[in-house]
A and B are shown apart, each in its own frame.
Chain A
Amino acid sequence: MKVELEADKCVASGQCVLAATDVFDQDDDGIAILLEDRPADELLDDVKEAVAVCPAAAIRLVEQ
């Protein structure tokens, strides 16, 4: 599974960082950045949570 992040949609809510600390971080302006676009299986639940809570629909998990 591959994570896709559309940074120009991001509203800097920080929710993805809270949900999946190992996969997301924020730049100096609080905009989300991807640490890991192919996270290990054990992180997938966290990433799914991040997808669910992102208020701006900026994160997607795609079959790869």
Chain B
Amino acid sequence: MADTLAGPASGTPQPLPEFPMPREARCPFDPPPALKDLQEQAPVTKVRLWDGSEPWLVTRYADQRTVLGDPRVSADTDSPGYPTKASPEGGEGKLGFIMMDDPEHARLRRMVTAPFAIKRVEALRPAVQKIVDDLIDGLLGRPGPVDLVEEFALPVPSLVICELLGVPYDDHAFFQDNTKTMVHRDATPEQRGRASREVAGYLAALIGKRLAEPRDDLLSSIAGRVTAGEIDHQQATEMALLLLIAGHETTANMIALGTLALLRNPDQLALLRENDDPKFVAGAVEELLRYLHITHLGRRRAVTGDIEIGGQVLRAGEGVIMANEIANRDPEVFPDPDRLDLTRDARRHVAFGFGVHQCLGQPLARMELQVVYGTLYKRIPTLKPACALEDVRFKNDAFIYGVHELPVSW
């Protein structure tokens, strides 16, 4: 009998664990305890989603990398068996190559890889440092407390993507206002939708301008693909929007949640405040990526050919979810995994996913976080939370984990 979990044929079938599982309220930085239990006891097992579907859940680090690296999985949400999104409300539309398979995925991804090469990203570091310094000047010019999310964490990636895409300075305010609304906790779905359409319309128009008069920026290079007949204007706009959306809330949440985690671990914060070695700061970024793992609802795929893994067979047409946050706490790979230790070698984490869809923006995200973590606590050494931990609202149901707001003072 292959399907032992289903229970005796006559009786009621054993209920499957529901996914996603709740976190422990007292441990907002740790993955749900049930994930740890599954990692130990049933590393490849079926779970039930809100819509009643029953995909596989893979919890061990090595197994997750194997599945994500296998060509027999599809990231296309239309593939049979693809595990539906987190919640009835959670389904964002299809957005560009993140939800496509090779060879089309590879063709489109390669059109925008150039600006994310390590050297190109390094060349942006002074501009990012200036953005961060200016924002900190703005904070320090005020009495506090301020909401770090709204006043610092969200503006950083928004201004950086403006820089990268080539959004003119005069339009930064428009761009920032709308991108903020797109992810704002209090915005209604209508307001979010409207803001998304504003930004998409704006990007489409700007690509139009760059079609006519190319400059030395990413939108011009995307426009060049339109001129060459490789993609149409609509696809070009989608690509720009994907880069914006994929890098915005992710980076912002790493900044805010990372700051809260450091404030709760003062010895670790002190290490970062007192250390100028860029290598140490880079390592600290990897450890915070591992420990916080903000893309917490799992990498989702549809199986397109039978895959044997962890003593189970994932069949074509079934769904599979890799809960990366628990892979990053796998004791086989990271000793004492639940400890935040900025001095450990955390480079093998899967916070950026794994396989052909692994984060395209990771060199940029790393550099931004290195600048932020390497600057903020040195420039504001007295930074402290302006509310109790119990009062911080965590984004438990959101696609990207983080805090809704983080009031701080100094």
Interface on A for B, CB 8 Å cutoff?
A: 11-15, 17-19, 26, 28-31, 49, 52-53, 55-57
Contacts and interface: CB of A to CB of B under 8 A. Distances in A.
A7 to B, nearest CB: 11
Interface of B: 68-69, 106, 109-110, 113-114, 116-121, 347-348, 352-356, 358-360, 362-363
Contacts of B109: 11-12
Contact of B348 (A14, A53, A56): A53
B110 A29 contact: yes
Given A12-B113, A26-B118, 7 more contacts: A11-B113, A12-B110, A12-B117, A28-B114, A29-B110, A30-B117, A31-B110
Contacts, number: 62
A13 B355 CA distance: 10
Contacts of B355: 55-56
A39 to B, nearest CB: 18
B106 A11 contact: yes
Given A55-B69, A57-B69, A11 B356 contact: yes
Contacts of A14: 116-118, 121, 362-363
B365 to A, nearest CB: 11
A58 B352 CA distance: 17
A55 to B, nearest CB: 4
20 contacts: A11-B356, A12-B110, A12-B113, A12-B116, A12-B117, A13-B362, A14-B117, A18-B118, A28-B114, A28-B117, A29-B110, A29-B114, A29-B117, A30-B116, A49-B347, A52-B348, A55-B69, A55-B355, A56-B355, A56-B358
Nearest to B111: A29
A30 B218 CA distance: 14
B85 to A, nearest CB: 23
Nearest to B69: A57
The DSSP consensus for interface residues of chain A is: loop
Contacts of A12: 109-110, 113, 116-117, 360
A12 B117 CA distance: 7
Contacts of B353: 55
A26 B117 contact: yes
A46 to B, nearest CB: 11
A17 B363 CA distance: 10
